[in-house]
Structures are given as structure tokens and as C-alpha cells.
Structure 1
Amino acid sequence: MTALNPRTIVGARSVAVERTPQRLDPLGAQSAWLLVPLLGAVAVAYAVFSTVRHSGQFRDLTPALVGILVLALAVVVAAIRTHPAFAPFGRWSHFGVIAGALTAACLFSASVWGRNDRIQDDWGQIAVALMIVAMPLYRPIGEVAGSAVVSAVVLGGLAAAQHSIVISNAPLVYATVAATPILALAAGGAGYAWTLTGETLRWREVAREGQIRLEGELRQAAQRMISQERMTALNAEAVPFLTGVAGRDAITAEDRDTARAIAERLRDLSVRAVERTWLEDTLQLALGQRLAQSIPAEGEPRDRVDDPDRLERVLTTDQRAIVGALIASIAGRPGLDPSSVRIAASDPDQPSFTLRARVDEPWNELRRELLPFVSSLNAATMRATMTVDGGELTVRFTYPERSFPYPEGRRQ
């Protein structure tokens, strides 16, 4: 019970969480994912339209066509990397996507260099702005602002250096025209993300207070279930035994052995009630209505949670909420064999949890229902995977982040 180093708990609970909607509200950010491919599709469509409109202004059409392909590649990468299945969206993915869009914009500028009539109908700055506007949902605002400023300076500088614009004006005006869409959409996306994260943080404080009250109710419910187990054991074993002894008016050696066995079982139930953990309470309450009987059948392990070192203590409030939702979702699956659900915790230095269960359902259905919770664990500074092999569902999640081998089977 003492194998878990307190420093491990402090370290795990002290990992800094980026102030982004994806980190603070993983499930909410998942619902906004479609925005990324839609904005990317608009950017590519506008690039094609603008390229057609610039016919007759090209020094060389090839860079513009290559630019459209590079932009399309950046859109595909952004759509894949921001998908909930690959959460979280990291810093280098962000820089890679914006660098791709910026490169595409520069290629277009090169293709019309010296023959471009107007800055305002170029697609480069619009494409970059559309790719940046959704980034604050996944990356810190300061980081996105840096990308926007760099992009605005590069494209603004290219615009200022052009000398073929039909409307004669100061280079600063050309730079402003090119930079404004990028900075404006970046500011709009950042403002939305700032408001969203602020509201999320305030909601989390309210939710945390509610969860503290709920934990007491959860503990009371678990205690009632344990008391019911003890009463069932008393009614099923102790009462008939005592009634039989009273009827015989004599105590035999066999009676003493039986009494000792009943006492040990009751004592075991009492000890389990005292040492009950959060994971055990959560799993018991989730499966309570689906188990055929509250007392394990002969030969069936009594403990569904194997966590002798109480490694669950490293889980933060947010992570417990996600794990609890994951357990409840699995417990509600129609093809679940409730007696097969087990959770094991290992490695006190880097706590790792494994949930296994037999679920007779197609892989696609399980993935659709459980993937949001697995992705949320990944976004909540954990490393989570889900596999299905021969009808056995395995969900692994570890914190702090580490790598571990995947078993044979299908991986999410």
C-alpha cells in the first residue's frame, strides 16, 4: 500500500496543462473538429478560383499549381492531426501545417511576381488566415499569435516588394492589405478560444465543488452495497446456521468449523468495505444492475480491481471524470459480459492502468462509442490506447506519458 512514492503523485498531478479548449474540454473540442477540414476545403477552393482569375498575370503557372498541392497537403495533415483519434494536436503539427500554408502562399506570389495587378484578390493570405483561425482550439493563444505574426510579416513583406500593382500606393499599404486577413482571423479565433477556455475553467470550478459533494454520495452508495452484501451473507449463511444450532441445542466440531468459515467471510466483506477504492466504487456502481448476483460465484475472483498500491491516487479530478465516464459507457454496452470486467494497475514509478472486458459487438460500434473517451484521456495529459482482439476489449491508459507495447489485435 506504500509502494507508490508520494513524489510520483505530486509529479503526476502537477503536470502543466496547456490552456486550450482541447486540453480543458476534450469532448467539447471533438465536436468542433469538422471545422478544420471545412475551412481547409474553403481555402483550397478559393485558391483554385483565384488562380483561374489570375490567368494572364502569371510569370510561370507551375509554382501556383504546386502551391495549391502544398496547401491541399497542409489541409489533409491538419484534418488528420486534429481528429479526435490522434489527440492531442501538438506544437510541431501546428507549425508544420502553418508552414505548409505559408509556403503555398509564397509559391503563388512567385508565380505572379512582376505581373500581379492587385494584392487583395491573391489567395495566399486568405488561405493562411483560414488555416490559422481554428488553431486556437488546439494550441495556446500565444503560440498561434506567433504563427500569425510571422505569416503576416512574410506575406506583407512580399506584397510590399511587388512593383506591378495597378493601383499605385505606398508599400506599407500593400503590406497592410496582405497582413490584415491573417491578423484579423487569428485575433477572432484567439478571442473565441480565450472566452471558451475562461468559461471552461469557471465551469470546472463549479463542477469540482459538485464532484466533492458527489464523492460523498458515491461513498455512501458503495457502503450501502457492501452492507447489502453483508446482510445477504448473514441471511444466506449465518441465520440458517444459527437457527440449526439452536434447534439441536448442541454444538459439534463441524459447527465450530462452519462458524469460523462464516466469520471469516463476513470479516473479509468488512475489510473490503474499509479498503474500498474509488476505482472499485465506480466499477461496482456501474456494473451493479448488470451483475446476476452481488456475491461472486464460486471460483470467480472477488476483486474486479487489482490495485494493491492505490495507484489510482495519481489521477486528477478531470482524469477521474473521464475514466468514470469510460467505465459507465463500457458497462452500458449491450454485448458486455459484466463478469469479465477487470481493471489492473501496475508500475508505481509510472502508474499504468489496464481495463479488460469481453464485449460481443462489432469493432466499429465499440470504436464509435468509446473513442471519444480514449481521445479525451490523451488530451488530458495521459497516453491511452484501445484494442479489440477476439472479442476482448482492452483499454490502457498511463500517466505520466510513457510508451508500452501493443498486444496483437486492432488498434484505434
Structure 2
Amino acid sequence: MTARAAVEHRELARFPWGVSVHESQAGRASTERIDPLSAVAARPVTGGILVLAVALPLLTLLTRADEITVGAGLVGALGLVVISCLLILDRTRAHRPVFSVTLGLVVYLLQAGVLALAVASTYGANDLLRDDWAPIVVGLVLFSLAPYRPAVELAAATAGLTALSAGFAVLQAPFATTDVPLATFAVAGSSSLACLGFASAAYALSMNGSILAWLEQAWRSAAAAAVEQRGGVARSVQQQRVSLVNRKVVPYFTRISAAETLTAEDREEARELAVSIRALLVADIERGWAQALLDELCSRAPGAPIPGVADDPDDVGRSLTTAQRTLLRAIGMEAVERVGVSSVELRIRETATSVSVRWWLATPGGGARAARQLTATLHLVRGLTHRSRVDTQADAVTLEFEYGR
């Protein structure tokens, strides 16, 4: 292996999106980031858990309505539960940005509000703490976050909310029918939340650890294969250039060698041929990576090639990691071969902290229909990039996102 190949192998052997598996801990990763499609597959389960979280307090209300002392507190608690569930369901859609740390903090604060308002709604009349619905509902909400938040964050949030729930249980101890130590009330009023919350963290830790281990093995195998084949790919590209030149030069030389004399027309044709070949080779060398990508993909369009324009004056695309370029290629292939776009524009710009990417896809069938066809790809984009955004128009769809540096 040459020195250049060794450097390329080390680059390719890194974990996709620029972070080595050894640099990333399973406890700080989220499934939505490292394997977006697995998070998508878990979304129906997440929805079912959230439906249960909303249904549980309503069912409890039907059986324990006599314990409600402050109706506004109950309404507020139910409202916060519904808002939390809607936030989670909305943010897990393909068209929405990835679940952020800020949004996670908002959800945790809402759960603290649920605990407080639920206690206020039954304060002075709750004589069986083990029947409280709020700790169970908060635990279910935490469990639904397993595919979207890191295990460490879930464990920390569970610990904080468990302590808060235990504290509220102690406040209600004077009104309970059972005379037991305060510690017993604390455990009874928080154990369900702790079990569900820490189970969520454990599940996230186990799942993400397995995914990271699998990705490391798969990426290293792919890297080794890519390095082995890169020389062949380079030779193939060179052969295409030689073939292109030969199609123009060889026929001319053959005709000249058979002629007895050179005419002025022959000399003029030779000059035009030299200028044409030189311009062709210079354009091929100066063509940026993004334009080369579009030229290749647009030539595969069903029926006939389609126009593809790249706006990358600094050739930023060439400096992206292999995995980042792979995602761009996947987006283009899906758009050209599956959606059937009529034209493509790709804009790439580099900022101080990121690389901004913008795809514009002209779609005769309509932007909304194209976005539905690209749903799986959009889930990949939102999980593997930053600040992704999808905008559909009557005859086009725009996809914007950023790569972190």
C-alpha cells in the first residue's frame, strides 16, 4: 500500500460522518443520529407509547374523580402531557429537524410540570400514592425518547424527575391512609417513573452500542474494498479520456498518412482539432467534484439525460469526507432514477463552522409527491446532517442542510 493509499484508508476507516467509533461512546450517541432508519422503524412504537401516556390519566380520571380537588391542576397536567406527545411526534417526522438537545430539555421540563400539576390536582385527597398516574405517564414519555436521545441524557433526566416525584410523594404523606416511614412514600411515588426511565436509558445504551459496533465493522470492510478498487477506477477514467482523444485524433492521422500532400484545409483542421482537444482536457481537469457528480447522475436519467447544474465555485465538495459525498450521491441517484426529476441544481458553500448544501429538484409530478417518494432519503438526511429543511413547491422540491466541520 502506497503512502497516499494508506492516508485514504485511514480516512475511510473512520466512522461515517467524520467521527471514529473509538471517539464516540454509545452512551452519548442517539439512534436517530447513527442509524436514522432504525429510529424511523421505531416511530410506530413511539406513537403507541405516547397514546398510552395520554389515555392513562383519562382512564384514571374515570375511576378516581372523587380525589380531584383542583380541576385546573388536572387540566394543566393533561395539557402538558398532550403537548409533550405532540412535540415528540412532530419532531420525528421526515420534514422536521432532528431532535435537538434544546427540545429534549423542553420535554423534560414539561414532565416536571406534569408531576407538579398532577400533585396539585389531588392535594389533600390522595390517600393511595401507588395509584398516582403522573409518575407512570412521565416514565412512558421518557421511554418513548429512547431512539432520539442519548442514554446518558435519559439517565440524568430520569434521576432528576425521580427525585422530584419522590419529593412530591413526601409532601402528600400526611394525607395517606397508611402510616409508614416517609422513605416508603418516596419510593411508592417515584418507583414507576424510575423503572421506565432507566429502562429507556438502558435500551438506548444497548441499542446504540450494537449499532456502533456493527457500523465500525461494515465501514472498515467497505473502506478496504474501496481502497483496493480505487486504482482500477482511476485507470478506467484514464482509459475513457484516451478513448475520447483517439476517436478524434486517430481518424485524422489515418487520413493524413494516406494522403500524398497536406492542404491548407488539413492544416486548419489540425489546428481546430488541437484547440478542441486541449479545451476538452482542460475543462475535464478544472471541472469541480459537484459538477462531475451531476454529469454522471444526470446521464443515467430514464429516457434521456437531464440538465444538472452545480454551484460550487470553491470546489468544496471535493474536500468533504467520503461518507458526506456518499450521502450527496445517494440523494442525487434517488432524485434522478426513482423520482424522475426533469432538472437538478446543487449548491455547496463553506462557512466558518459548516458546509451548507442546497438541492433544487424540478419535478413534473409536483414537489409534494416527490417529497413523499424521497421520505426514506429525507430521514437519512435529517439524522446525518444539521438543520435540515424541506420546502415543496408546485413543480419542485428544495432540500437544505449543513455538514458540521
Q: TM-score range with shorter-chain normalisation?
A: 0.7 to 0.9
CA–CA separation in structure 2 for the residues paired with 1:396 and 1:176? 48
**Residue 333 (1) aligns with residue 345 (2):** no
Q: After the TM superposition, which residues 2-401 of structure 1 pair with which residues of structure 2 at under 5 Å, given as runs? A: 19-162=29-172, 163-216=174-227, 217=229, 220-221=232-233, 224=236, 227-228=239-240, 230-232=242-244, 234-235=246-247, 237-271=248-282, 279=290, 282-290=293-301, 304-337=309-342, 340-347=343-350, 349=352, 350-389=354-393, 391-400=395-404
Task: Give how far 1:274 is off.
Answer: 5.5
2:90 counterpart SS class: helix
Contact persistence 2:97–2:387 (CA under 8 A): no
The residue type paired with residue 234 of structure 1 is N
Per the alignment, do residues 272 and 143 of structure 1 end up closer, same or farther by CA in structure 2, a change over 3 Å counting? same
The residue type paired with residue 323 of structure 1 is L
Task: Give how far 1:21 is off.
Answer: 1.2
Give 1:8's aligned residue. none
Per the alignment, do residues 265 and 348 of structure 1 end up closer, same or farther by CA in structure 2, a change over 3 Å counting? farther
How many pairs were matched up? 381
CA–CA separation in structure 1 for the residues paired with 2:53 and 2:138? 8
Contact persistence 1:102–1:124 (CA under 8 A): no
CA–CA separation in structure 2 for the residues paired with 1:105 and 1:190? 20
> Quick check: 39-48 or 155-164, which moved more?
155-164
CA–CA separation in structure 1 for the residues paired with 2:325 and 2:318? 10
Cα deviation, 1:328-381, whole Å, max 9, x if unaligned, reads: 2112135323xx334343346453333334332232321123344344334334
Per the alignment, do residues 259 and 213 of structure 1 end up closer, same or farther by CA in structure 2, a change over 3 Å counting? farther
Per the alignment, do residues 245 and 293 of structure 1 end up closer, same or farther by CA in structure 2, a change over 3 Å counting? farther
The residue type paired with residue 356 of structure 1 is W
Contact persistence 2:367–2:397 (CA under 8 A): no
CA–CA separation in structure 2 for the residues paired with 1:280 and 1:207? 29
Higher normalized helix content (fraction of residues): 2
Cα deviation, 1:218-262, whole Å, max 9, x if unaligned, reads: 674475356346525533x33443344344433233323322333
1:384 counterpart SS class: strand
Task: Give how far 1:199 is off.
Answer: 1.9
The residue type paired with residue 317 of structure 2 is E
Per the alignment, do residues 84 and 344 of structure 1 end up closer, same or farther by CA in structure 2, a change over 3 Å counting? closer
Task: Give how far 1:42 is off.
Answer: 0.4
Contact persistence 1:387–1:394 (CA under 8 A): yes
Cα deviation, 1:285-338, whole Å, max 9, x if unaligned, reads: 5444337789x9xxx8xx85454533125533443332222122112135323x
> Quick check: 275-284 or 105-114, which moved more?
275-284
1:332 counterpart SS class: helix
Cα deviation, 1:127-153, whole Å, max 9, x if unaligned, reads: 100011122322222222221112111
Contact persistence 2:43–2:92 (CA under 8 A): yes
Per the alignment, do residues 394 and 76 of structure 1 end up closer, same or farther by CA in structure 2, a change over 3 Å counting? closer
Per the alignment, do residues 56 and 175 of structure 1 end up closer, same or farther by CA in structure 2, a change over 3 Å counting? same
1:351 counterpart SS class: strand
Give 1:4's aligned residue. none
Contact persistence 2:390–2:397 (CA under 8 A): yes
The residue type paired with residue 174 of structure 1 is F
CA–CA separation in structure 2 for the residues paired with 1:93 and 1:69? 17
The residue type paired with residue 344 of structure 2 is V
Contact persistence 2:158–2:193 (CA under 8 A): yes
Task: Give how far 1:59 is off.
Answer: 2.3
Task: Could you tell me which runs of 5 or more consecutive residues in structure 2 were left unpaired when the two chains were aligned.
Answer: 1-16
CA–CA separation in structure 2 for the residues paired with 1:146 and 1:174? 22
CA–CA separation in structure 1 for the residues paired with 2:281 and 2:43? 49
Per the alignment, do residues 35 and 85 of structure 1 end up closer, same or farther by CA in structure 2, a change over 3 Å counting? farther
2:301 counterpart SS class: coil
Task: Give how far 1:126 is off.
Answer: 0.6
Contact persistence 1:218–1:281 (CA under 8 A): no
Moved over 6 A (4+): 14-17, 291-294
Per the alignment, do residues 49 and 291 of structure 1 end up closer, same or farther by CA in structure 2, a change over 3 Å counting? closer
CA–CA separation in structure 1 for the residues paired with 2:223 and 2:231? 11
Contact persistence 1:51–1:64 (CA under 8 A): no
Task: Give how far 1:75 is off.
Answer: 1.3
Per the alignment, do residues 383 and 315 of structure 1 end up closer, same or farther by CA in structure 2, a change over 3 Å counting? farther
Task: Give how far 1:197 is off.
Answer: 1.5
Task: Could you tell me which runs of 5 or more consecutive residues in structure 1 were left unpaired when the two chains were aligned.
Answer: 1-11, 402-412
1:397 counterpart SS class: strand
CA–CA separation in structure 2 for the residues paired with 1:221 and 1:179? 61
Per the alignment, do residues 273 and 34 of structure 1 end up closer, same or farther by CA in structure 2, a change over 3 Å counting? same
Contact persistence 2:366–2:393 (CA under 8 A): no
Contact persistence 1:33–1:84 (CA under 8 A): no
The residue type paired with residue 201 of structure 1 is L
